[in-house]
Copies of this chain bind each other. A is one copy, B any other.
Amino acid sequence: MPPTSPGATAAGGPTRPPAGAGVAAPPTTLPTTERGRRQRERLLAAARVVFERDGFLDARVTDISAEAGVAHGSFYTYFGSKTAVFRALLAATMDELYDTLRVGTADSGAPTADAPAPAGTRSAEEAVRRVERANRRFVAMYRENTALMALFEQVTTFDPEVRALRQAARERMVGRVRHSIEQLQTDGLVAADLDAEYSAHALVAMVSGLVHYWLVLDGDFEEERLVATLTRLWTTSLGLAPTPTV
């Protein structure tokens, strides 16, 4: 069975190509005027409200237009479809969140990182601290954007473009973590024969998967304990163990 996923057709949302063939030019271009730019922003903001409230599938273009305070027809001046506006919204927001995570976590531990080793940062204890910070930050970010994360997942299941965004986002996170693991291996703090790539993927899956279960699937967790346990498992699994064995 080839890597599959149901409903992955080319177009956009739930794929049902309109029978009528006449394809109107989808606004790929950004607005010309200043007024246009503002209208586009209003629609994006409205889209966010409506999507988060109703979910992608139940959201209607009419609702978005109404929320934005513009006529139904105006929507199509800026976006070709519900799916198009969602993609735009997601792309914009994800870039924001990416920055959020980057700020405040130097190179190393977990779903974050990006600076040269600040020197004197080469102890296991320091690494553990960095992992914890990154995890806490990630969890907080997810908590503050739960609705959007749920939407992201939802649309990923049927829109190829959004799926690509998801893969990209994941690879970015994994890349950072892999880099951090390789660094620790270079420093002799992590076993050299550990597969950094696979491990990074696994650890990222652990954190994002559990947080998803907590916030989106409504699991019963306490944030601090969650961060603590994730950090402990993360670091112990890499052999940065503060708790040797028993």
Contact yes or no, A6 B246, CB < 8 A? no
Q: Known A158-B154, A199-B229, A237-B236; judge A143-B6 contact (CB<8 A).
A: no
Q: Is A42 part of the binding interface, using a Cβ–Cβ cutoff of 8 Å?
A: no
Q: Is A157 part of the binding interface, using a Cβ–Cβ cutoff of 8 Å?
A: yes
Select which of B158, B199, B230 is within 8 A of A233 by beta carbon.
Answer: B199
Q: Mark A46-59, 1 if CB is under 8 A from B, else 0.
A: 00000111111110
Contact yes or no, B239 A221, CB < 8 A? no
Select which of B57, B191, B214, B218 is within 8 A of A14 by beta carbon.
Answer: B57
Contact yes or no, B246 A219, CB < 8 A? no
Give how many copies assemble into the complex.
Answer: 2
Contact yes or no, A170 B225, CB < 8 A? no
How many of chain A's residues touch chain B, expressed as a range? 35 or more
Q: Is the interface of A mostly helix, strand, loop or mixed?
A: helix
Restricting to A105-156, which residues have a CB under 8 Å from any CB of B?
143-144, 146-147, 150-151, 153-154, 156
Across the interface, which residues of B come within 8 angstroms of A209, CB to CB? 205-206, 208-209
Contact yes or no, A51 B233, CB < 8 A? no
Contact yes or no, B170 A198, CB < 8 A? no
Please list the residues of chain A having a beta carbon within 8 angstroms of any beta carbon in chain B. Answer: 1, 3-9, 13-16, 51-58, 143-144, 146-147, 150-151, 153-154, 156-158, 163, 166-167, 170, 188-195, 198-199, 201-203, 205-210, 212-219, 221, 225-226, 229-230, 232-234, 236-239, 241, 243-246
**12 interchain pairs (CB within 8 A)?**
A6-B52, A6-B56, A14-B58, A167-B217, A198-B229, A199-B233, A202-B206, A202-B229, A202-B230, A233-B237, A236-B237, A239-B241
